Amino acid sequence: MKYVIGHGSQISSEQLSGIYHLRYRVFCNRLQWDIPAVELKERDGYDALDPLFITAVNRANQVVGCCRILPTTGPYMLRDTFPSLLGSSPAPQADNIWEISRFAVDKTPHHGVAFSEVPATMIAHIVWHAIVNHIDDYVFVTTVGFERLLKRMGISYERVSGVVQIGIERSVGLMMHVNEPTISAISAFAPWLFKEERRAA
């Protein structure tokens, strides 16, 4: 498994197609979100903003995990698509707060890789991206199942909304803190990532 980080304008059309097709299978089929899709691909207006994508690609060069990252200083989903989840709280808008959206993972078994390893490793890359880009927090809408994964990993987070039903899953708005507990948890889970990234820097 390899993990690729790049803006939409930087990655191949084949990989972008794989991202949109995986999102269709996860959000339209598995989670049954009521969102538009064209030719078995799910994409929306936020994809036109040249977001950063973190992508998991298997040995067959298939996209099996992906997420999208956008700054909260521009349009983003929690504020502009799911504002009701914020309740009376103001929508975050700061250079040091970004949003994770469209986090999707293929549940098909992959040779030598446990299902939870892919989302956990993607989270590790998300945290490292925050460290090197001076991001203190991420906001996002996710399922309560994914919230449990963050808790098991030791990630520091808090709810910014109550639980709501979206499709067939119970979902919640979260703010993930890139603080010492989160960095320690990621360092323990993926020490190789920190060594590799520091060599690259």
Strands (E) located in 12-166: 52-57, 63-71, 97-105, 137-143, 157-159, 164-166
Q: Is the pLDDT of residue 161 over 70?
A: yes
Higher pLDDT, 198 or 8: 8
Read off the pLDDT of each residue in 106-128 and give the average, rounded to a whole number: 78
Decide if 103 contacts 145 (C-beta within 8 A).
no
Domain boundaries, the chain: 2-200
- Mean pLDDT score of the chain, rounded to an integer? 89
Closest among 28, 182, 6 to 102, alpha carbons compared = 28
Number of Cβ within a 10 Å radius of residue 160: 19
Using the 8-state DSSP alphabet, how is residue 92 labeled? Answer: P
pLDDT given at position 48 = 95
Give how far Cα 43 sits from Cα of 27, 36, 86, 149, 183, Å: 11, 8, 24, 26, 31
Q: Is the pLDDT of residue 137 over 80?
A: yes
pLDDT given at position 200 = 46
Read off the pLDDT of each residue in 70-94 and give the average, rounded to a whole number: 91
What would the CATH number be for the domain defined by 2-200?
Answer: 3.40.630.30
Least confident of 7-16, 105-114, 164-173: 105-114
pLDDT given at position 115 = 47
